Amino acid sequence: MQAEAPARRDGRLLGVATAATVLTIVAGWLVVRAGEPVMTAAIVSLGIIAARLVDVSIGVVRTVAIVQGHKGRAFVLAFIEVLVWVLVVSKVILTVQDHPWYAIPYALGFALGNWLGMVVEARMASGHSVVRVFTRRGDEMAATLRDQGITVTVFDGRGRDGPVQMLFIETRRRGSRRVIELARGVDPTCYHVVADIKSTSASAH
């Protein structure tokens, strides 16, 4: 399984930016057609986007915290998320109901909030992951990883085309990309699987 190519990822981000620009232009056109002052509409639109950006991004990070079993973090984020919703977003919904064209910045803020939440969560990269690498150059790869201070367990197996080895590596989530880069430096054709760890026997004690 190969990581997403930078060019493809940048292309998707460009597509999102283009869509956001188009939606903003459409929203401005609708506001002018409705006869509302452009400056007022712009300020309200930015407020709607900001409100949705905050509460949705918090919600994304909270969901990941729940999946990973971080009870304290999920509790705090849930409290902040609902507080923002009650104090800000609920009033934004009333604005959208009175002025339907504000639904566009509302939707844009929701979409950007999901994107921002994923970016923030990826930057935080809390917790641990397990990386499984399948290769026919297991001993060489294990030696390379161990030279970098990475703990590796090697298992022998047999695939469709003959003997194969699986390397089992537990690492912090933010370190999983480095492990993959080192592994592919030894065997560019290796197959890897990355999975988040919710709990281990060590963490249970």
Task: Write down all domains in the chain, each with its CATH number in brackets.
Answer: 6-124 (no CATH), 128-197 (3.30.70.120)
The predicted-structure confidence for 137-148, as pLDDT tens digits, reads as follows 888 899 989 998
What pLDDT sits at residue 6?
Answer: 46
pTM of the predicted model over 0.75 = no
Task: Tell whether the model's pLDDT for residue 39 goes beyond 80.
Answer: no
Query: Tokens 């903003």, residue?
Result: 24
3-state secondary structure of 167: strand
At 173, is the pLDDT very low, low, confident or very high (cuts 50, 70, 90)? confident
Residues pairing with 171 in the sheet: 129
Rounded mean pLDDT, 177-196: 88
Task: Tell whether the model's pLDDT for residue 66 goes beyond 50.
Answer: yes
Rounded mean pLDDT, 101-127: 80
At 166, is the pLDDT very low, low, confident or very high (cuts 50, 70, 90)? very high
Say how many C-beta atoms besides its own lie within 10 A of residue 2's C-beta. Answer: 9
What pLDDT sits at residue 167?
Answer: 92
**Which residue from 54, 205, 203, 198 is spatially nearest to 126, judged by alpha carbons?**
198
Alpha-carbon gap, residue 119 to 179, rounded angstroms: 21
Cα 126 from chain centroid?
12
Alpha-carbon gap, residue 61 to 66, rounded angstroms: 9
Cα dihedral angle (114, 117, 122, 126), rounded to 10 degrees?
Answer: -130
Rounded mean pLDDT, 174-193: 88
Query: Tokens 């509790």, residue?
Result: 75
Identify whether the C-beta of residue 69 lies closer than 8 Å to the C-beta of residue 126. Answer: no
Three-class DSSP labels, 179-190? HHHHHHHHCCCC
Strand positions, DSSP E, the chain: 128-135, 153-159, 162-172, 191-197
Residues pairing with 134 in the sheet: 166, 191
